[in-house]
Chain A
Amino acid sequence: MLSADANLTGLENVELFARLFDVPRKNRKERVAGALDAMGLTEAAGRLAGTYSGGMIRRLELAQALINAPRLLVLDEPTVGLDPIARGVVWEYIARLREEHHMTVLMTTHYMDEADAYCDRVALMHRGAIRTTGRPGDLRAGLGDGATLDDVFRYYTGDTLADNPPEEGGIRDVRRARRTARRLG
Chain B
Amino acid sequence: MTYAAPGAPPAASVEPPVAADSLAAGVGRLTSRIVTLCWVELRKIRHDRTELYTRAIQPALWLLIYGEVFTHVRAIPTPDGIPYLDYLTPGILAQSALFIAIFYGIQIIWERDAGVLTKLMVTPTPRSALITGKAFAAGVRSLVQGVVVVIIAAILGVALTTNPLKLIAAAIILVLGSAFFSCLSMSIAGLALARDRLMGIGQAITMPLFFSSSALYPITVMPGWLRAVSLVNPLTYEVEALRALLIGTSTVLWLDSLVLLSATIASITCAALLLPRLANR
Contacts and interface: CB of A to CB of B under 8 A. Distances in A.
Interface residues of B, number: 35
Contact of B114 (A2, A19, A69): A2
Interface stretch (B95-103, B120-128, B228-236): B120-128
A12 B43 contact: yes
B120 A20 contact: yes
A74 B32 CA distance: 26
Interface in B1-42: 1-10, 12-13, 15-16, 18, 29, 32-33, 36, 39-40
Given A1-B114, A2-B114, A102-B10, A20 B2 contact: no
B123 A61 contact: no
Interface stretch (A21-29, A137-145, A146-154, A158-166): A21-29
Interface in A1-43: 1-5, 7-9, 12, 16-17, 19-24
Contacts, number: 107
A20 B113 contact: no
Given A8-B43, A20-B33, A21-B124, A61 B2 contact: yes
A62 B18 CA distance: 25
Given A19-B36, A21-B123, A176-B113, A48 B4 contact: no
Given A8-B43, A12-B43, A64-B2, A22 B18 contact: yes
B208 interface: no
Contacts of B125: 20
Interface string A170-185: 0000001001100110
B19 to A, nearest CB: 13
- What's the dominant secondary structure at chain A's contact region? mixed
A16 B7 contact: no
Contact of B116 (A4, A19, A76, A101): A4
22 contacts: A2-B1, A3-B2, A3-B116, A4-B116, A8-B40, A8-B47, A12-B40, A16-B36, A19-B32, A20-B33, A20-B125, A21-B4, A22-B124, A64-B2, A64-B119, A69-B10, A73-B2, A73-B3, A74-B3, A74-B5, A180-B114, A180-B115
